[in-house]
Structure 1
Amino acid sequence: MFHVSDIPGKGKGVLAARDIKNLDPKEHVDRLALAIFETNAVSAGKDTVGIFPTMARLNHGCSSAFNVVYSWRNEHEGLFVHALKDIKKGQELLTTYTDTKRPREERRKLIPEDRAYLTQQYGFKCTCDVCALPDGLSQASDRRLSKISELYRKFATWGNMDIDGIQAINYVREIWEIEDEEGYWSERGQLAADAAWVAASHSDASAAQAWALKAAEWFTYEIGADTPQVRSLITVGDRPQSHNAWGTREKLEVGGPKY
Protein backbone atom coordinates (compact mmCIF):
# COMPACT_ATOMS: atom_id res chain seq x y z
CA MET A 1 0.00 0.00 0.00
CA PHE A 2 2.88 2.39 0.79
CA HIS A 3 6.67 2.45 0.99
CA VAL A 4 9.38 4.64 2.45
CA SER A 5 11.42 6.51 -0.18
CA ASP A 6 13.81 9.42 -0.50
CA ILE A 7 11.99 12.68 -1.24
CA PRO A 8 14.02 15.55 -2.69
CA GLY A 9 14.45 18.31 -0.13
CA LYS A 10 12.70 16.32 2.62
CA GLY A 11 14.81 13.30 3.27
CA LYS A 12 12.74 10.15 3.56
CA GLY A 13 8.96 10.03 3.38
CA VAL A 14 6.05 7.65 2.85
CA LEU A 15 4.67 7.28 -0.68
CA ALA A 16 1.53 5.48 -1.82
CA ALA A 17 2.33 2.25 -3.65
CA ARG A 18 -1.15 2.21 -5.23
CA ASP A 19 -4.24 4.37 -5.40
CA ILE A 20 -5.80 4.58 -1.95
CA LYS A 21 -9.41 5.60 -1.46
CA ASN A 22 -10.78 7.14 1.69
CA LEU A 23 -11.95 4.30 3.98
CA ASP A 24 -10.60 1.70 1.59
CA PRO A 25 -12.55 -1.53 2.30
CA LYS A 26 -9.31 -3.52 2.18
CA GLU A 27 -8.28 -1.71 5.33
CA HIS A 28 -11.68 -2.20 6.99
CA VAL A 29 -12.40 -5.87 6.35
CA ASP A 30 -13.69 -6.51 9.88
CA ARG A 31 -16.00 -3.51 9.77
CA LEU A 32 -17.32 -4.49 6.35
CA ALA A 33 -17.84 -8.09 7.44
CA LEU A 34 -19.74 -6.94 10.52
CA ALA A 35 -21.97 -4.68 8.41
CA ILE A 36 -22.78 -7.58 6.07
CA PHE A 37 -23.50 -9.83 9.03
CA GLU A 38 -25.78 -7.31 10.75
CA THR A 39 -27.73 -6.75 7.54
CA ASN A 40 -28.24 -10.42 6.67
CA ALA A 41 -28.15 -12.40 9.93
CA VAL A 42 -31.33 -14.12 11.11
CA SER A 43 -32.24 -16.04 14.24
CA ALA A 44 -31.00 -19.63 14.29
CA GLY A 45 -32.29 -20.88 17.61
CA LYS A 46 -31.96 -19.57 21.14
CA ASP A 47 -29.23 -16.93 21.48
CA THR A 48 -27.90 -17.85 18.03
CA VAL A 49 -27.90 -16.14 14.66
CA GLY A 50 -26.61 -17.22 11.28
CA ILE A 51 -26.03 -16.24 7.68
CA PHE A 52 -27.93 -18.16 5.00
CA PRO A 53 -26.84 -17.05 1.50
CA THR A 54 -29.91 -18.26 -0.40
CA MET A 55 -32.41 -17.03 2.17
CA ALA A 56 -30.60 -13.68 2.29
CA ARG A 57 -31.66 -13.16 -1.32
CA LEU A 58 -35.31 -12.93 -0.28
CA ASN A 59 -36.34 -9.33 -0.75
CA HIS A 60 -38.69 -7.42 1.53
CA GLY A 61 -42.40 -6.72 1.11
CA CYS A 62 -44.75 -4.90 3.48
CA SER A 63 -48.15 -5.97 4.79
CA SER A 64 -49.95 -7.96 2.08
CA ALA A 65 -46.97 -7.81 -0.30
CA PHE A 66 -44.87 -10.52 1.34
CA ASN A 67 -45.80 -14.12 0.64
CA VAL A 68 -43.28 -16.28 2.54
CA VAL A 69 -42.07 -16.55 6.14
CA TYR A 70 -39.06 -18.34 7.56
CA SER A 71 -38.28 -20.10 10.83
CA TRP A 72 -35.41 -22.02 12.39
CA ARG A 73 -36.01 -25.70 13.18
CA ASN A 74 -33.80 -26.95 16.03
CA GLU A 75 -34.53 -30.60 15.34
CA HIS A 76 -33.30 -30.24 11.75
CA GLU A 77 -30.70 -27.54 12.47
CA GLY A 78 -31.90 -25.69 9.42
CA LEU A 79 -33.83 -22.64 8.28
CA PHE A 80 -37.15 -23.37 6.57
CA VAL A 81 -39.09 -21.03 4.29
CA HIS A 82 -42.86 -21.51 3.97
CA ALA A 83 -45.36 -19.99 1.56
CA LEU A 84 -48.15 -18.03 3.23
CA LYS A 85 -50.04 -17.66 -0.03
CA ASP A 86 -50.24 -19.35 -3.40
CA ILE A 87 -47.27 -18.22 -5.48
CA LYS A 88 -47.36 -18.41 -9.26
CA LYS A 89 -44.44 -19.54 -11.38
CA GLY A 90 -42.15 -16.58 -12.03
CA GLN A 91 -43.53 -14.55 -9.12
CA GLU A 92 -40.96 -13.17 -6.68
CA LEU A 93 -40.81 -14.64 -3.19
CA LEU A 94 -40.90 -11.85 -0.60
CA THR A 95 -40.49 -11.97 3.16
CA THR A 96 -40.58 -9.08 5.63
CA TYR A 97 -37.70 -7.39 7.42
CA THR A 98 -39.68 -5.34 9.95
CA ASP A 99 -43.05 -4.87 11.62
CA THR A 100 -45.32 -4.02 8.72
CA LYS A 101 -48.49 -3.56 10.80
CA ARG A 102 -47.77 0.17 10.70
CA PRO A 103 -48.84 2.96 8.33
CA ARG A 104 -46.65 3.58 5.29
CA GLU A 105 -44.94 6.68 6.67
CA GLU A 106 -44.07 4.92 9.91
CA ARG A 107 -42.63 1.98 7.98
CA ARG A 108 -40.53 4.39 5.97
CA LYS A 109 -39.34 6.47 8.91
CA LEU A 110 -37.51 5.56 12.08
CA ILE A 111 -39.11 7.51 14.90
CA PRO A 112 -37.98 9.91 16.34
CA GLU A 113 -35.40 10.39 13.60
CA ASP A 114 -36.86 11.59 10.32
CA ARG A 115 -35.04 8.90 8.38
CA ALA A 116 -36.23 5.95 6.37
CA TYR A 117 -35.98 2.79 8.51
CA LEU A 118 -35.42 0.35 5.67
CA THR A 119 -32.96 2.72 4.01
CA GLN A 120 -31.02 3.17 7.23
CA GLN A 121 -30.97 -0.50 8.22
CA TYR A 122 -30.81 -2.22 4.85
CA GLY A 123 -29.84 0.40 2.31
CA PHE A 124 -33.03 0.62 0.22
CA LYS A 125 -36.34 2.44 0.02
CA CYS A 126 -39.24 0.03 -0.14
CA THR A 127 -41.17 0.04 -3.41
CA CYS A 128 -43.27 -3.07 -2.79
CA ASP A 129 -46.85 -3.25 -4.06
CA VAL A 130 -48.20 -1.89 -0.78
CA CYS A 131 -45.78 1.02 -0.51
CA ALA A 132 -46.43 1.85 -4.17
CA LEU A 133 -50.20 2.14 -3.75
CA PRO A 134 -51.83 5.42 -4.81
CA ASP A 135 -52.42 7.74 -1.87
CA GLY A 136 -56.11 6.94 -1.49
CA LEU A 137 -55.59 3.18 -1.40
CA SER A 138 -52.51 3.59 0.78
CA GLN A 139 -54.49 5.59 3.33
CA ALA A 140 -57.17 2.88 3.42
CA SER A 141 -54.45 0.27 3.98
CA ASP A 142 -52.91 2.45 6.70
CA ARG A 143 -56.24 2.64 8.52
CA ARG A 144 -56.58 -1.14 8.46
CA LEU A 145 -53.03 -1.70 9.69
CA SER A 146 -53.40 0.87 12.47
CA LYS A 147 -56.66 -0.76 13.54
CA ILE A 148 -55.03 -4.20 13.61
CA SER A 149 -52.24 -2.91 15.85
CA GLU A 150 -54.77 -1.20 18.12
CA LEU A 151 -56.81 -4.40 18.43
CA TYR A 152 -53.70 -6.43 19.27
CA ARG A 153 -52.98 -4.01 22.12
CA LYS A 154 -56.55 -4.30 23.39
CA PHE A 155 -56.48 -8.09 23.14
CA ALA A 156 -53.30 -8.17 25.23
CA THR A 157 -55.13 -6.52 28.14
CA TRP A 158 -56.92 -9.82 28.80
CA GLY A 159 -53.70 -10.96 30.44
CA ASN A 160 -54.14 -8.21 33.05
CA MET A 161 -57.83 -9.08 33.47
CA ASP A 162 -58.83 -5.69 32.10
CA ILE A 163 -61.27 -7.38 29.71
CA ASP A 164 -63.17 -10.66 29.88
CA GLY A 165 -62.76 -13.65 27.61
CA ILE A 166 -65.74 -12.77 25.42
CA GLN A 167 -64.31 -9.35 24.60
CA ALA A 168 -60.86 -10.86 24.03
CA ILE A 169 -62.22 -13.32 21.48
CA ASN A 170 -64.23 -10.56 19.81
CA TYR A 171 -60.97 -8.66 19.32
CA VAL A 172 -59.37 -11.74 17.75
CA ARG A 173 -62.29 -12.12 15.37
CA GLU A 174 -62.11 -8.46 14.41
CA ILE A 175 -58.35 -8.69 13.81
CA TRP A 176 -58.90 -11.72 11.59
CA GLU A 177 -61.62 -9.98 9.59
CA ILE A 178 -59.56 -6.84 8.97
CA GLU A 179 -56.50 -8.92 8.07
CA ASP A 180 -58.56 -10.73 5.47
CA GLU A 181 -59.54 -7.39 3.99
CA GLU A 182 -55.93 -6.18 4.04
CA GLY A 183 -54.50 -9.48 2.78
CA TYR A 184 -52.21 -9.71 5.81
CA TRP A 185 -51.92 -13.38 6.74
CA SER A 186 -48.84 -13.51 8.94
CA GLU A 187 -48.82 -14.47 12.66
CA ARG A 188 -52.21 -16.13 12.48
CA GLY A 189 -50.97 -19.35 14.05
CA GLN A 190 -49.95 -17.50 17.20
CA LEU A 191 -53.11 -15.38 17.22
CA ALA A 192 -55.34 -18.46 17.09
CA ALA A 193 -53.17 -20.22 19.70
CA ASP A 194 -53.63 -17.22 22.00
CA ALA A 195 -57.38 -17.42 21.43
CA ALA A 196 -57.27 -21.12 22.34
CA TRP A 197 -55.48 -20.14 25.56
CA VAL A 198 -58.28 -17.69 26.41
CA ALA A 199 -60.97 -20.26 25.67
CA ALA A 200 -59.24 -22.98 27.70
CA SER A 201 -58.72 -20.59 30.61
CA HIS A 202 -62.48 -20.02 30.71
CA SER A 203 -63.22 -23.77 30.36
CA ASP A 204 -64.95 -23.36 27.00
CA ALA A 205 -64.14 -26.76 25.52
CA SER A 206 -65.70 -26.32 22.09
CA ALA A 207 -64.06 -22.92 21.58
CA ALA A 208 -60.67 -24.14 22.82
CA GLN A 209 -60.89 -27.08 20.44
CA ALA A 210 -61.86 -24.92 17.46
CA TRP A 211 -59.18 -22.30 18.10
CA ALA A 212 -56.51 -24.94 18.70
CA LEU A 213 -57.25 -26.62 15.38
CA LYS A 214 -57.31 -23.24 13.64
CA ALA A 215 -53.91 -22.48 15.17
CA ALA A 216 -52.58 -25.87 14.05
CA GLU A 217 -53.77 -25.13 10.51
CA TRP A 218 -52.00 -21.77 10.35
CA PHE A 219 -48.84 -22.91 12.11
CA THR A 220 -48.69 -25.65 9.47
CA TYR A 221 -48.55 -22.93 6.82
CA GLU A 222 -46.06 -20.81 8.76
CA ILE A 223 -43.63 -23.30 10.33
CA GLY A 224 -44.59 -26.77 9.09
CA ALA A 225 -46.89 -29.63 10.09
CA ASP A 226 -44.18 -31.68 11.80
CA THR A 227 -43.41 -29.14 14.52
CA PRO A 228 -43.94 -29.35 18.31
CA GLN A 229 -46.36 -26.42 18.19
CA VAL A 230 -48.65 -28.16 15.72
CA ARG A 231 -48.52 -31.50 17.55
CA SER A 232 -49.36 -29.81 20.85
CA LEU A 233 -52.29 -27.93 19.35
CA ILE A 234 -53.69 -31.06 17.72
CA THR A 235 -53.61 -32.69 21.16
CA VAL A 236 -55.62 -29.77 22.56
CA GLY A 237 -57.99 -30.14 19.63
CA ASP A 238 -58.56 -33.76 20.67
CA ARG A 239 -58.68 -33.06 24.41
CA PRO A 240 -59.28 -29.37 25.24
CA GLN A 241 -59.00 -30.09 28.97
CA SER A 242 -55.32 -31.01 28.44
CA HIS A 243 -54.44 -27.36 27.79
CA ASN A 244 -52.10 -25.99 30.47
CA ALA A 245 -54.39 -23.00 31.06
CA TRP A 246 -57.57 -25.03 31.46
CA GLY A 247 -59.90 -23.67 34.14
CA THR A 248 -57.63 -20.88 35.38
CA ARG A 249 -60.32 -18.21 34.91
CA GLU A 250 -64.06 -18.12 35.59
CA LYS A 251 -66.13 -20.48 33.46
CA LEU A 252 -67.41 -18.61 30.42
CA GLU A 253 -68.54 -19.38 26.88
CA VAL A 254 -66.22 -17.16 24.85
CA GLY A 255 -66.91 -18.55 21.38
CA GLY A 256 -64.82 -19.96 18.58
CA PRO A 257 -63.72 -18.72 15.16
CA LYS A 258 -66.32 -17.62 12.62
CA TYR A 259 -64.32 -18.54 9.53
Structure 2
Amino acid sequence: MAAPSRPPFLFLIPILTAIFLYYWNVTGQQQVLEAYLVTDLPGRGKGLIATRNISRGELILRDKPLFVFPASIHGSPHELIAKHLTELTDYQRAQFHGLSYLPVSSEADIPLSIFQANAVAAGAGTVGLFPNFARLNHGCAGAFNAVYSFREKEGEIVVHAVKNIAAGSELLTTYFDTKRPRASRQVHLLQAYGFSCQCSTCSLAPSLSTLSDQRLEQMSLLYQRLGLWSSNPQQLRKGAEGEEAVEIARKIWSIGSEEGYVSERGQLAADVVHICLAHSDVRAAQAWADLAIRWYGYELGRDCLQIEIVKKLIARPESASSWARRSPQTLPGTDGLRE
Protein backbone atom coordinates (compact mmCIF):
# COMPACT_ATOMS: atom_id res chain seq x y z
CA MET A 1 0.00 0.00 0.00
CA ALA A 2 1.43 3.34 -0.98
CA ALA A 3 2.25 5.81 1.78
CA PRO A 4 -0.18 8.74 1.98
CA SER A 5 1.08 11.78 0.16
CA ARG A 6 1.88 14.94 2.14
CA PRO A 7 -0.41 17.91 1.54
CA PRO A 8 1.40 20.29 -0.82
CA PHE A 9 1.21 23.24 1.59
CA LEU A 10 3.07 21.56 4.46
CA PHE A 11 6.44 22.85 3.25
CA LEU A 12 5.19 26.38 3.99
CA ILE A 13 4.82 25.77 7.73
CA PRO A 14 8.52 26.13 8.69
CA ILE A 15 8.85 29.15 6.40
CA LEU A 16 5.85 30.93 7.91
CA THR A 17 7.02 30.02 11.41
CA ALA A 18 10.45 31.52 10.73
CA ILE A 19 8.89 34.72 9.39
CA PHE A 20 6.65 35.03 12.44
CA LEU A 21 9.51 34.43 14.88
CA TYR A 22 11.69 36.96 13.08
CA TYR A 23 8.99 39.61 13.29
CA TRP A 24 8.37 38.70 16.92
CA ASN A 25 12.04 39.17 17.81
CA VAL A 26 12.56 42.32 15.76
CA THR A 27 9.65 44.16 17.31
CA GLY A 28 10.23 42.83 20.81
CA GLN A 29 6.52 42.09 21.16
CA GLN A 30 5.14 38.98 22.85
CA GLN A 31 1.54 40.10 23.03
CA VAL A 32 -1.24 39.82 20.49
CA LEU A 33 0.10 41.98 17.70
CA GLU A 34 -3.22 43.61 16.89
CA ALA A 35 -3.75 45.00 20.42
CA TYR A 36 -2.72 48.47 19.22
CA LEU A 37 -1.76 50.41 16.14
CA VAL A 38 0.80 53.20 15.82
CA THR A 39 -1.22 56.11 14.45
CA ASP A 40 -0.61 59.71 13.39
CA LEU A 41 -2.42 62.04 15.80
CA PRO A 42 -3.17 65.54 14.44
CA GLY A 43 -0.88 68.06 16.09
CA ARG A 44 0.57 65.46 18.45
CA GLY A 45 2.86 63.27 16.39
CA LYS A 46 2.25 59.55 16.75
CA GLY A 47 0.52 57.48 19.41
CA LEU A 48 -0.83 54.02 20.16
CA ILE A 49 -4.52 53.35 19.55
CA ALA A 50 -6.21 50.20 20.88
CA THR A 51 -7.52 48.06 18.03
CA ARG A 52 -9.61 45.91 20.36
CA ASN A 53 -10.91 45.98 23.91
CA ILE A 54 -8.07 45.52 26.40
CA SER A 55 -8.74 44.22 29.91
CA ARG A 56 -7.21 45.63 33.07
CA GLY A 57 -4.05 43.72 33.90
CA GLU A 58 -3.43 42.67 30.32
CA LEU A 59 0.11 42.83 28.97
CA ILE A 60 0.04 45.41 26.19
CA LEU A 61 3.66 45.69 25.20
CA ARG A 62 7.12 44.48 26.06
CA ASP A 63 10.15 46.13 24.57
CA LYS A 64 13.92 45.71 24.46
CA PRO A 65 16.13 48.82 24.37
CA LEU A 66 18.05 49.94 21.31
CA PHE A 67 20.80 50.85 23.75
CA VAL A 68 21.33 51.56 27.44
CA PHE A 69 23.66 54.18 28.93
CA PRO A 70 24.75 55.05 32.47
CA ALA A 71 22.67 57.91 33.86
CA SER A 72 25.91 59.89 34.22
CA ILE A 73 28.48 59.63 31.46
CA HIS A 74 31.95 61.02 30.88
CA GLY A 75 32.82 62.44 27.51
CA SER A 76 30.63 63.56 24.65
CA PRO A 77 27.04 62.22 24.63
CA HIS A 78 26.89 63.05 20.90
CA GLU A 79 29.80 60.70 20.20
CA LEU A 80 28.41 57.98 22.45
CA ILE A 81 25.05 57.98 20.68
CA ALA A 82 26.67 58.17 17.24
CA LYS A 83 28.83 55.15 18.07
CA HIS A 84 25.85 53.08 19.20
CA LEU A 85 23.80 54.08 16.15
CA THR A 86 26.42 52.51 13.89
CA GLU A 87 25.92 49.21 15.73
CA LEU A 88 22.17 49.09 15.05
CA THR A 89 20.49 47.39 12.12
CA ASP A 90 18.89 49.50 9.39
CA TYR A 91 15.48 48.71 10.86
CA GLN A 92 16.55 49.79 14.35
CA ARG A 93 18.08 53.03 13.06
CA ALA A 94 14.82 53.77 11.26
CA GLN A 95 12.98 53.20 14.54
CA PHE A 96 15.33 55.60 16.31
CA HIS A 97 15.11 58.39 13.73
CA GLY A 98 11.34 58.06 13.57
CA LEU A 99 10.94 59.19 17.18
CA SER A 100 10.00 62.71 18.23
CA TYR A 101 12.46 65.25 19.61
CA LEU A 102 12.61 68.81 20.88
CA PRO A 103 13.72 71.62 18.53
CA VAL A 104 17.48 71.82 18.01
CA SER A 105 19.82 74.42 16.56
CA SER A 106 21.63 72.04 14.21
CA GLU A 107 21.03 68.68 12.55
CA ALA A 108 23.97 67.22 14.46
CA ASP A 109 22.03 67.68 17.70
CA ILE A 110 19.01 65.63 16.58
CA PRO A 111 20.20 62.20 17.84
CA LEU A 112 20.89 63.56 21.32
CA SER A 113 17.54 65.35 21.37
CA ILE A 114 15.77 62.12 20.34
CA PHE A 115 17.47 60.27 23.18
CA GLN A 116 16.71 62.96 25.75
CA ALA A 117 13.04 63.14 24.75
CA ASN A 118 12.44 59.38 24.73
CA ALA A 119 14.84 57.66 27.15
CA VAL A 120 13.58 56.29 30.47
CA ALA A 121 15.13 54.67 33.52
CA ALA A 122 16.30 51.13 32.83
CA GLY A 123 17.37 49.77 36.17
CA ALA A 124 19.61 51.27 38.82
CA GLY A 125 21.75 54.10 37.46
CA THR A 126 21.01 53.51 33.78
CA VAL A 127 18.70 54.91 31.12
CA GLY A 128 17.60 53.29 27.90
CA LEU A 129 15.72 54.01 24.72
CA PHE A 130 12.86 51.61 24.02
CA PRO A 131 11.53 52.35 20.51
CA ASN A 132 8.07 50.81 20.77
CA PHE A 133 7.44 52.03 24.30
CA ALA A 134 8.50 55.54 23.23
CA ARG A 135 5.33 55.76 21.12
CA LEU A 136 3.21 55.80 24.28
CA ASN A 137 1.99 59.31 24.99
CA HIS A 138 1.47 60.85 28.41
CA GLY A 139 -1.70 61.26 30.41
CA CYS A 140 -1.93 62.90 33.83
CA ALA A 141 -3.55 61.64 37.02
CA GLY A 142 -6.82 59.93 36.10
CA ALA A 143 -6.21 60.13 32.34
CA PHE A 144 -3.55 57.42 31.94
CA ASN A 145 -4.69 53.84 31.46
CA ALA A 146 -1.40 51.92 31.33
CA VAL A 147 1.74 51.72 33.45
CA TYR A 148 5.24 50.49 32.69
CA SER A 149 7.97 48.82 34.68
CA PHE A 150 11.51 47.72 33.91
CA ARG A 151 12.41 44.08 34.45
CA GLU A 152 16.06 43.82 35.36
CA LYS A 153 16.37 40.09 34.71
CA GLU A 154 14.91 40.24 31.20
CA GLY A 155 16.36 43.68 30.41
CA GLU A 156 13.06 44.92 29.04
CA ILE A 157 10.16 47.26 29.70
CA VAL A 158 6.69 45.82 30.13
CA VAL A 159 3.45 47.80 29.90
CA HIS A 160 0.19 46.66 31.47
CA ALA A 161 -3.32 48.10 31.35
CA VAL A 162 -4.48 49.44 34.74
CA LYS A 163 -7.96 50.12 33.42
CA ASN A 164 -10.25 48.46 30.92
CA ILE A 165 -9.49 50.14 27.60
CA ALA A 166 -12.07 50.33 24.83
CA ALA A 167 -11.15 49.74 21.20
CA GLY A 168 -10.33 53.06 19.55
CA SER A 169 -8.98 54.66 22.74
CA GLU A 170 -5.45 55.99 22.94
CA LEU A 171 -3.07 54.10 25.20
CA LEU A 172 -1.57 56.53 27.70
CA THR A 173 1.03 56.11 30.41
CA THR A 174 2.38 58.69 32.84
CA TYR A 175 5.89 60.11 32.51
CA PHE A 176 6.22 61.22 36.15
CA ASP A 177 4.38 61.42 39.47
CA THR A 178 1.31 63.46 38.51
CA LYS A 179 -0.14 63.78 42.01
CA ARG A 180 0.26 67.53 41.79
CA PRO A 181 -1.90 70.48 40.66
CA ARG A 182 -2.57 71.04 36.96
CA ALA A 183 -0.44 74.21 36.79
CA SER A 184 2.57 72.40 38.24
CA ARG A 185 2.13 69.46 35.86
CA GLN A 186 1.86 71.78 32.87
CA VAL A 187 5.08 73.62 33.74
CA HIS A 188 7.01 70.37 34.24
CA LEU A 189 5.82 68.81 30.98
CA LEU A 190 6.57 71.94 28.97
CA GLN A 191 10.08 72.25 30.39
CA ALA A 192 10.98 68.55 30.30
CA TYR A 193 9.14 67.35 27.19
CA GLY A 194 8.24 70.47 25.25
CA PHE A 195 4.46 70.09 25.10
CA SER A 196 1.36 71.46 26.78
CA CYS A 197 -0.69 68.55 28.06
CA GLN A 198 -4.25 68.30 26.76
CA CYS A 199 -5.19 65.00 28.41
CA SER A 200 -8.70 64.54 29.78
CA THR A 201 -7.60 65.56 33.29
CA CYS A 202 -5.81 68.70 32.13
CA SER A 203 -8.79 69.58 29.90
CA LEU A 204 -11.38 69.58 32.69
CA ALA A 205 -13.57 72.63 33.17
CA PRO A 206 -12.08 75.07 35.73
CA SER A 207 -14.40 74.03 38.57
CA LEU A 208 -13.76 70.32 37.99
CA SER A 209 -10.03 70.93 37.56
CA THR A 210 -9.96 72.61 40.97
CA LEU A 211 -11.62 69.58 42.56
CA SER A 212 -9.13 67.29 40.81
CA ASP A 213 -6.21 69.38 42.07
CA GLN A 214 -7.57 69.17 45.60
CA ARG A 215 -7.88 65.39 45.44
CA LEU A 216 -4.35 64.96 44.07
CA GLU A 217 -2.87 67.31 46.65
CA GLN A 218 -4.71 65.45 49.39
CA MET A 219 -3.32 62.13 48.14
CA SER A 220 0.23 63.53 48.24
CA LEU A 221 -0.23 64.83 51.79
CA LEU A 222 -1.71 61.54 52.93
CA TYR A 223 1.23 59.62 51.48
CA GLN A 224 3.54 61.88 53.48
CA ARG A 225 1.55 61.24 56.64
CA LEU A 226 1.53 57.49 56.00
CA GLY A 227 5.33 57.65 55.96
CA LEU A 228 5.26 58.86 59.57
CA TRP A 229 4.34 55.36 60.72
CA SER A 230 7.92 54.24 60.04
CA SER A 231 9.84 57.51 60.37
CA ASN A 232 8.10 59.30 63.25
CA PRO A 233 5.16 57.32 64.70
CA GLN A 234 4.86 59.74 67.63
CA GLN A 235 3.14 62.11 65.19
CA LEU A 236 0.26 59.63 64.81
CA ARG A 237 -2.44 58.76 67.34
CA LYS A 238 -0.79 57.52 70.51
CA GLY A 239 -1.47 53.84 71.05
CA ALA A 240 -3.28 53.59 67.73
CA GLU A 241 -0.62 54.54 65.20
CA GLY A 242 -1.18 51.33 63.25
CA GLU A 243 -4.91 51.91 63.01
CA GLU A 244 -4.40 55.49 61.85
CA ALA A 245 -1.82 54.41 59.26
CA VAL A 246 -4.19 51.85 57.75
CA GLU A 247 -7.04 54.38 57.78
CA ILE A 248 -4.76 56.76 55.86
CA ALA A 249 -4.02 54.04 53.29
CA ARG A 250 -7.74 53.37 52.90
CA LYS A 251 -8.36 57.08 52.36
CA ILE A 252 -5.61 57.26 49.71
CA TRP A 253 -7.26 54.32 47.98
CA SER A 254 -10.72 55.90 48.07
CA ILE A 255 -9.54 59.28 46.78
CA GLY A 256 -7.62 57.52 44.02
CA SER A 257 -10.79 55.72 42.97
CA GLU A 258 -12.69 59.02 42.90
CA GLU A 259 -9.96 60.71 40.86
CA GLY A 260 -9.35 57.72 38.60
CA TYR A 261 -5.73 57.55 39.77
CA VAL A 262 -5.33 53.78 40.04
CA SER A 263 -1.58 53.36 40.01
CA GLU A 264 0.88 52.41 42.79
CA ARG A 265 -1.84 50.36 44.46
CA GLY A 266 0.13 47.15 44.65
CA GLN A 267 2.89 48.92 46.56
CA LEU A 268 0.40 50.74 48.81
CA ALA A 269 -1.30 47.49 49.80
CA ALA A 270 2.07 45.77 50.32
CA ASP A 271 3.16 48.59 52.64
CA VAL A 272 0.03 48.02 54.72
CA VAL A 273 0.88 44.31 54.96
CA HIS A 274 4.08 45.28 56.80
CA ILE A 275 2.15 47.61 59.10
CA CYS A 276 -0.31 44.83 59.94
CA LEU A 277 2.47 42.34 60.64
CA ALA A 278 4.31 44.84 62.84
CA HIS A 279 1.15 45.06 64.95
CA SER A 280 0.68 41.26 64.92
CA ASP A 281 -2.61 41.33 62.99
CA VAL A 282 -2.35 38.38 60.60
CA ARG A 283 -6.01 38.56 59.56
CA ALA A 284 -5.71 42.13 58.28
CA ALA A 285 -2.30 41.35 56.77
CA GLN A 286 -3.83 38.52 54.74
CA ALA A 287 -6.58 40.78 53.38
CA TRP A 288 -4.09 43.44 52.33
CA ALA A 289 -1.74 40.81 50.89
CA ASP A 290 -4.56 39.51 48.69
CA LEU A 291 -5.16 43.07 47.48
CA ALA A 292 -1.44 43.67 46.89
CA ILE A 293 -1.14 40.48 44.85
CA ARG A 294 -4.15 41.40 42.74
CA TRP A 295 -2.94 44.92 41.99
CA TYR A 296 0.68 43.99 41.47
CA GLY A 297 -0.73 41.58 38.91
CA TYR A 298 -2.59 44.39 37.16
CA GLU A 299 0.31 46.85 37.24
CA LEU A 300 3.42 44.69 36.92
CA GLY A 301 2.15 41.34 35.66
CA ARG A 302 1.13 38.19 37.50
CA ASP A 303 4.66 36.83 37.07
CA CYS A 304 6.37 39.80 38.73
CA LEU A 305 8.88 39.41 41.56
CA GLN A 306 6.83 41.60 43.91
CA ILE A 307 4.00 39.07 44.03
CA GLU A 308 6.41 36.30 45.01
CA ILE A 309 7.75 38.47 47.84
CA VAL A 310 4.26 39.15 49.22
CA LYS A 311 3.30 35.47 48.98
CA LYS A 312 6.39 34.39 50.91
CA LEU A 313 5.78 37.11 53.49
CA ILE A 314 2.20 36.10 54.22
CA ALA A 315 2.97 32.37 54.15
CA ARG A 316 5.25 32.80 57.19
CA PRO A 317 4.26 36.09 58.85
CA GLU A 318 6.26 35.44 62.03
CA SER A 319 9.45 35.33 59.94
CA ALA A 320 8.91 38.85 58.56
CA SER A 321 11.46 41.43 59.69
CA SER A 322 8.60 43.69 60.77
CA TRP A 323 6.75 41.02 62.78
CA ALA A 324 5.58 42.18 66.26
CA ARG A 325 7.85 45.24 66.24
CA ARG A 326 4.99 47.41 67.50
CA SER A 327 2.21 46.98 70.05
CA PRO A 328 -0.49 44.44 69.11
CA GLN A 329 -3.48 46.11 67.46
CA THR A 330 -6.55 45.01 65.53
CA LEU A 331 -6.39 46.88 62.25
CA PRO A 332 -8.85 47.67 59.45
CA GLY A 333 -8.96 45.33 56.48
CA THR A 334 -9.94 46.00 52.89
CA ASP A 335 -13.73 45.76 53.12
CA GLY A 336 -15.53 48.41 51.09
CA LEU A 337 -12.56 49.51 49.00
CA ARG A 338 -13.48 50.13 45.37
CA GLU A 339 -11.47 48.42 42.69
TM-score bracket for the superposition, by shorter chain length: 0.7 to 0.9
Query: 1: distance between equivalents of 2:277 and 2:291?
Result: 14
Equivalent residues in 2 for 1:51-130, closer than 5 Å: 51-108=129-186, 116-130=187-201
State the 1:211 CA deviation. Answer: 1.1
Higher RCO, Cα 8 Å, sep 6+: 2
- Contact 1:130–1:138 (Cα < 8 Å) also in 2: yes
RMSD between aligned residues: 1.4
Letter paired with 2:130: F
* TM-score after normalising by structure 2: 0.64
- Contact 1:209–1:238 (Cα < 8 Å) also in 2: no
Q: Is the aligned partner of 1:134 residue 2:212?
A: no
Equivalent residues in 2 for 1:231-242, closer than 5 Å: 231-242=308-319
Equivalent residues in 2 for 1:1-259, closer than 5 Å: 25-26=106-107, 29=108, 31-108=109-186, 116-159=187-230, 160-161=232-233, 162-163=235-236, 164-258=241-335, 259=337
SS of residue paired to 1:102: coil
Query: 2: distance between equivalents of 1:24 and 1:48?
Result: 27
SS of residue paired to 1:49: strand
Unaligned runs of 5+ in 1: 1-22, 109-115
* TM-score after normalising by structure 1: 0.83
Superposed CA deviations along residues 31-83 of structure 1, whole A, max 9, x for unmatched, are 43333222211111122211011101100000110000111112222110010
Letter paired with 2:334: P
- Contact 1:144–1:178 (Cα < 8 Å) also in 2: yes
Letter paired with 1:188: R
Please say which structure displays the higher CA radius of gyration.
1
Query: 2: distance between equivalents of 1:172 and 1:128?
Result: 27
Percent identical pairs in the alignment equals 47
State the 1:257 CA deviation. Answer: 1.6
Q: Any runs of at least 4 consecutive aligned residues in structure 1 with deviations exceeding 3 A, and if so which?
A: none
Letter paired with 2:330: E
Higher mean C-alpha displacement, 215-224 vs 231-240: 231-240
Residues matched between the structures, number: 227
Unaligned runs of 5+ in 2: 1-103
